[in-house]
Amino acid sequence: MQLLKYVVVSLVLCMHCAAQADTYPSKPIRMIVPAAAGGTTDIAARTIADPLGRELGQNIVVDIKAGAAAIIGTQALVSSPADGYTIIMGNIGPNAINYSLYKNLPYKMEDMEPVTMVLATPNVLVVNANFPAKTVAEMVTLAKASPGKYSFASSGRGQSIHMSGEMLKYQAGIDITHVPYKGAGPALVDLLGGQVTMMVDNLPSSMTYIKSGKLKALAVTSRVRSPELPEVPTMIEAGFKDFEVTAWFGIFVPAKTPPEVINKLYAALKKVLNLPEVKARMTELGGYAPADTPANTKAFVIAEKKKWEQLVMNAKVQAE
């Protein structure tokens, strides 16, 4: 009798999930951006929002919730109903690095499910156009000659921009001061104004300033040179054989979101990321759209978490 009751309940739940997937989405979807406007997280979200809305037949409302190393926006996601109507443009910071940087992080990896990666891009070491160094070697020489004089901006503690700066400090053996902001946008404003010295930024948010000559690109963090900046060497070419960072951005939903809804979102995102205009935009930004399956994306995120745990330990970055 108990077994029959269990089977009936299971069938009802399956029918409910199937019905939910059939009608999903029946109202607008909120896409949280856990970083300030103007940064790569925001750029990635706005690149896909309209075409994803057209594909799903509903508006995608971009909701900026910046602050606290993307913790505020991520908390907003995990506290939302697991129904597919609240999604987030996650990234390497809150979804991989934060786990080893914060002792009392108010969310766990298990609180979210990845749908797919939207953008993967290298970071780029940029300095103000008036900074005297023209190469990484020249920058390191200046920094070693004046410990503590120079600073590096980031989009917030725990983002790949911050950790790339920590990696630079560790591998180059230099003393430069970290200055965190609430996003890449405000950090770039101060870098352009000369209030900070350098930044290992996500390539998309710095690209316009590099091409206009307002920032100097000293190196990219990919294994090979960026096709969009073929004259800029890699950090490996600059003499740092283990300096390789790929910043990534992807869609996550709350845990317990029905698999049928996740699969529907993934199918729509895959179509959007393969649109010629979206692919062209990602290339223009210096990156590409991986568009891998939810299962493969989950395995990748787990591996990234382990990778950054090792760097935090090696670079002796203090957890908060």
Q: pLDDT, tens digit, for every residue of 260-313?
A: 999 999 999 999 999 999 999 999 888 999 999 999 999 999 999 998 998 888
Q: Give domain status of residue 94, yes or no.
A: yes
What CATH code is carried by the domain that includes residue 146? 3.40.190.10
Q: Give domain status of residue 235, yes or no.
A: no
Same-domain check for residues 116 and 253: yes
CA 207 from centroid of its chain's CA atoms: 16
Q: Is the pLDDT of residue 157 over 80?
A: yes
Same-domain check for residues 47 and 35: yes
Q: Is the pLDDT of residue 5 over 60?
A: no
Q: Give domain status of residue 83, yes or no.
A: yes
Same-domain check for residues 253 and 209: no
Same-domain check for residues 7 and 89: yes
Same-domain check for residues 106 and 146: no
Q: What is the pLDDT of residue 21?
A: 62
The residue-averaged pLDDT of 145-155 equals 96
pLDDT in tens, 206-230: 999 999 999 999 999 999 999 999 9
Q: What is the mean pLDDT of the chain?
A: 92
| Number of domains comprising the chain | 2
Same-domain check for residues 53 and 146: no
Per-residue burial over 93-110, b if 16 or more Cβ lie within 10 Å, else e, is bbbbbbbbbbeebebebe
Residue that is last in its domain, among 200, 220, 240:
220
Q: Give domain status of residue 6, yes or no.
A: yes
Same-domain check for residues 23 and 73: yes
Same-domain check for residues 197 and 254: no
Q: Give domain status of residue 162, yes or no.
A: yes
Same-domain check for residues 110 and 8: yes
Q: What is the pLDDT of residue 11?
A: 55
Identify the domain containing residue 293 by its residue range.
Answer: 2-120+248-314
Same-domain check for residues 24 and 91: yes
Q: Give domain status of residue 227, yes or no.
A: no
The residue-averaged pLDDT of 29-57 equals 95
What CATH code is carried by the domain that includes residue 7? 3.40.190.150
Q: What is the pLDDT of residue 16?
A: 53
Same-domain check for residues 51 and 109: yes
Residue that is last in its domain, among 184, 204, 220:
220
* pTM for the structure as a whole: 0.85
Q: What is the pLDDT of residue 191?
A: 98
Same-domain check for residues 89 and 32: yes
Q: Give domain status of residue 77, yes or no.
A: yes
